[in-house]
Amino acid sequence: MNNKSNVKLISFYVLFVGIAALVYFLVANHGKNLFGVQVKPIAAELSYSTFSPLFHVLLALVIVITFTRLVGEIFSYFHQPGVIGQVVGGILLGPSLFGWLAPEISAFVIPTATIPMLGIISQLGIILYMFLVGLELDLKTLKNNAHSTIAISHASIVFPFILGAVLSIYLFENFSGQNVSFSSFSLFLGVSMSITAFPVLARILSEKGFQKTKL
């Protein structure tokens, strides 16, 4: 019985991965006929030599944390996951809105030179948060539901990847540079969606108090 179950499980994974690979192949083949455009930066490139990079990093952290928490609380008030509100807050602070409405202020608050440092801080935050998730993980429950856990974890990676790859068809011509190939653009978008899906899901489960349940 166990052998039959293992065969079914392996067959399911092979079929699952095969379908995902086929979808991406079709997307990549369709994207060969697409061409990127020359993207112009929205925010103005300003120089503030009188201020140290540390000042801009601290200023950006204060504004980002305060604003995203505020938007997260608004979403929570309407019974929506607060982490989704924080993601929306980050989008609003980016070039899509803040950089478009006030490019000079946006360039002062978050200049290009501080983006790598903010990226490092954000990666450290994700690492520490996932460490805390691991501390609360019940390995006994995980072992008893190993097949379901593996299937769900793979699906949570593959499906966002496929959606990101499909979405790249509609975004490539408007948001990609002339020197960027469609395969690189679609892979980047797919991977960026798949790797960020799990931390967001873990945060939602933590907010709802499901982190110590079988779910």
| pLDDT tens, residue by residue, 104-138 | 888 888 887 788 888 889 888 888 887 877 777 77
pLDDT of res. 49: 47
Q: Report in angstroms the alpha-carbon separations of 205 from 88, 95, 108, 192, 211.
A: 19, 30, 36, 21, 6
* DSSP at 80: S
Residue 42 in this model has a pLDDT that exceeds 90 = no
Rounded distance, CA 24 to CA 165, Å? 7
Residue 45 in this model has a pLDDT that exceeds 60 = no
Place of tokens 């293992």: 6
Mean pLDDT of all residues in 192-212:
73
Grade residue 195 by pLDDT with cuts at 50, 70 and 90. Answer: confident
Residue 4 in this model has a pLDDT that exceeds 70 = no
Place of tokens 């798949």: 194
Residue 142 in this model has a pLDDT that exceeds 80 = no
